[in-house]
Chains A and B, each alone.
Chain A
């Protein structure tokens, strides 16, 4: 009986967002006129709402890049702030089209949750932050420390594993919400604050005295963060995946937001393929380079991406330089990092 009341209420209020489970996400998105993108509720550098819902960050720019690829307009995107618990349900149920919310790629998420990770936009790892005055230089000196963290995350589990593996004891202080974790750490409730290292760099900016805290060198876990889509829609999966690769290839080939128009005239065949420019042969014939067709988009899909948000390096610098995060593992493969995109051909 109660469910009827609730059902009736739900329909009366008319608030329920009906997501039609249609076959093609791309068609849905085109019909709507925008990409609905799941982001975090506020993590500087990745997805952070400044006043009036003006979102910025690496994850946010990635969504903008997807919108640019689809519509040729990076502003045709809407953001849904989600907490750690809701994020996968929101994607599964179809209320968002892509989840770009510093989510770690794990086997169970990629297989049993019915989701697919499209790539690793940021290679991260769990780290520790301590007050400088504690005088600790390495995580291995943390035996017996009280550690603040958030419940229901992989962080909590990695923490237990790390201390167990190094035969150290620790006391956990875990909260449901990130704000409470930060507050407890600042008030001295615990000696150590742990989360993804990028998160540490981002959160320290919110502290009254950022200089009083330091991040320890150890990284205790692999946290490949990347965009996620629903399983079963290969076309949409490819669009998201190749948006990411386009960002990387653009950086590798030196195509930037500023020079993308002039790069269209480049003689480099790789750049011609990326930008989908028609090649004029000396004999007067024209050759197509329309790789966008393969993912249901126009030939200028990558041009739109780069015009919209720039290449990977530009996105990274714009959002993460303020956190004083070095490229590190996120440098291109030919510069000692892990970011490597398959070629467009």
Chain B
């Protein structure tokens, strides 16, 4: 006999007392197991110590204004900020003539605007911004920076330096690496044996050696390959070296994207009678680019970091300019180097972190379209 049938749910029993309340939540969050609690406490102490040391050095004991190195050289002095202020323009423009620096500023401004137009999804006419950024902007930059035409005075590349060179190097190699990389990737996957072999050899050789070696070889050997009397600009050689290096890595990223496109897409394109280039340009590449954008942004981040290597072949990029200012007789002190490196780390970090955040954002945005 059924004596009792429950007609409604029994009241939900409260969770165990040690699982509720702010304390328990905190315990779950910060001290879940004994081992990790110990690790957590040690880590927290360590981080606190490091952060405090940094603040102490960069703010509390720092020298904020001084005419020369005397104060920074004092015992117990922290960061030497007056040095950074005094050298600030050099860090950005190198030895670019003061009266011509407006040209650099225009390029910076245009770059920021066109990049914003290209990167912010809500701004329309992406094709137009891309055309501007990838075609018109580089030409414009070249004309403005080099000068020698349209009434602009000629500025030798030996006078370029600092952040300006870092950006020129990274943007040029980024922009150049995309088309070159696509060509190389298509070449590697081509059915034509010679083209495929040559592309593969190029890609594997470049990826197999360090960038420093590529730069060393470019700077030391390239002039030997030129006809006597032709003496190409050193910065140009380095840019070409970096672009070819970037292209090889880009090719592998694009190839990965190509492999992810189902065969049906190729067959469909061929079935409607598209030629090879139309098939690639209209059907395959748009899909590939969409898939590989996050990898491309990551590649750009590492490219941006890699531009610092040109310091090794005596190009005064941001790192090079900052380092060369350490031995300036006016500011050389015990803290100059530390201040410079700190500044470098912060600047590079801001750029790279920004890019990686953008990459994550775009990844999420693109991911929604592909969810099944």
Chain A residues near B (Cβ < 8 Å): 1-3, 5-6, 9-10, 13, 15-21, 41-42, 44, 49, 52-53, 80-81, 83, 85-86, 89-90, 93-95, 176-177, 179, 182-183, 203, 205-209
Kindly list the 5 A-B residue pairs having the minimum CB-CB distance in the complex, ordered from nearest: A93-B231, A16-B232, A95-B231, A15-B233, A21-B229
Q: Are the C-beta atoms of B202 and A17 separated by less than 8 Å?
A: no
Residues of B contacting A9 in the complex (Cβ-Cβ under 8 angstroms): 236, 240, 243
Give residues of chain B (193-225) contacting chain A, Cβ–Cβ below 8 Å.
198, 202, 220, 223, 225
Q: Are the C-beta atoms of A176 and B312 separated by less than 8 Å?
A: yes
Q: Is B337 an interface residue (CB 8 A)?
A: yes
Q: Which of A18, A41, A183, A205 contacts B326 (CB 8 A)?
A: A183
Q: Is B146 an interface residue (CB 8 A)?
A: yes
Q: Are the C-beta atoms of A16 and B230 separated by less than 8 Å?
A: yes
Q: Is B73 an interface residue (CB 8 A)?
A: yes
CA distance A90 to B220 in the complex (A): 11
Least CB distance from B70 to A in Å reads 10
Residues of B contacting A207 in the complex (Cβ-Cβ under 8 angstroms): 332
Residues of A contacting B20 in the complex (Cβ-Cβ under 8 angstroms): none
Q: How large is the interface on B (under 10, 10 to 19, 20 to 34, 35 or more residues)?
A: 35 or more
Q: Is B142 an interface residue (CB 8 A)?
A: yes
CA distance A277 to B267 in the complex (A): 90
B73-115: contact bitstring with A at CB < 8 Å (1 yes, 0 no)? 1000000000000000000000101100000000000000000
Q: Are the C-beta atoms of A53 and B231 separated by less than 8 Å?
A: no
With contact pairs A18-B229, A21-B228 given, residues A182 and B327 touching in the complex (Cβ less than 8 Å): yes
Q: Are the C-beta atoms of A44 and B329 separated by less than 8 Å?
A: yes
Least CB distance from A199 to B in Å reads 13
Residues of A contacting B235 in the complex (Cβ-Cβ under 8 angstroms): 15
Residues of A contacting B98 in the complex (Cβ-Cβ under 8 angstroms): 52
Least CB distance from A151 to B in Å reads 12
Q: Are the C-beta atoms of B236 and A10 separated by less than 8 Å?
A: yes
Q: Closest residue to A210 on the B side, CB-wise?
A: B329
With contact pairs A83-B314, A179-B323, A208-B333 given, residues A15 and B228 touching in the complex (Cβ less than 8 Å): no
Q: Closest residue to B180 on the A side, CB-wise?
A: A5
Residues of B contacting A80 in the complex (Cβ-Cβ under 8 angstroms): 158
Q: Which of B228, B230, B334 has the most CB of A within 10 A?
A: B230
Q: Which of A2, A15, A42, A85 contacts B232 (CB 8 A)?
A: A15
Residues of A contacting B95 in the complex (Cβ-Cβ under 8 angstroms): 49, 52-53
CA distance A263 to B159 in the complex (A): 41
Q: Which of B69, B232, B333, B337 has the most CB of A within 10 A?
A: B232
Residues of B contacting A17 in the complex (Cβ-Cβ under 8 angstroms): 231-233
Q: Are the C-beta atoms of B230 and A18 separated by less than 8 Å?
A: yes
Q: Are the C-beta atoms of B229 and A19 separated by less than 8 Å?
A: yes
CA distance A16 to B236 in the complex (A): 8
Q: Which of B142, B236, B314 contacts A177 (CB 8 A)?
A: B314
CA distance A93 to B229 in the complex (A): 5
CA distance A44 to B323 in the complex (A): 17
Q: Are the C-beta atoms of A1 and B198 separated by less than 8 Å?
A: yes
Q: Which of A6, A81, A208 contacts B158 (CB 8 A)?
A: A81
Q: Are the C-beta atoms of B323 and A205 separated by less than 8 Å?
A: no
What are 13 inter-chain pairs, A to B, with CB distance below 8 A?
A1-B202, A2-B244, A6-B240, A9-B236, A15-B236, A18-B229, A18-B230, A93-B223, A93-B231, A179-B326, A183-B326, A206-B332, A208-B332
CA distance A53 to B142 in the complex (A): 22
Q: Closest residue to B328 on the A side, CB-wise?
A: A206
Q: Closest residue to A94 on the B side, CB-wise?
A: B229
CA distance A254 to B232 in the complex (A): 45
Residues of A contacting B180 in the complex (Cβ-Cβ under 8 angstroms): 5
B302-336: contact bitstring with A at CB < 8 Å (1 yes, 0 no)? 00000000001010000000011011110011100
Residues of A contacting B159 in the complex (Cβ-Cβ under 8 angstroms): 53
Q: Which of B146, B323, B332, B334 has the most CB of A within 10 A?
A: B332
Q: Are the C-beta atoms of A89 and B158 separated by less than 8 Å?
A: no
Q: Is B298 an interface residue (CB 8 A)?
A: no
Least CB distance from B259 to A in Å reads 24
Told that A18-B231, A177-B323, A208-B334 touch, could you supply 6 new A-B pairs with CB distance under 8 A? A10-B236, A52-B98, A53-B97, A93-B229, A177-B314, A208-B333
CA distance A203 to B95 in the complex (A): 22
Least CB distance from B291 to A in Å reads 26
CA distance A203 to B329 in the complex (A): 9
Residues of A contacting B329 in the complex (Cβ-Cβ under 8 angstroms): 44, 205-206
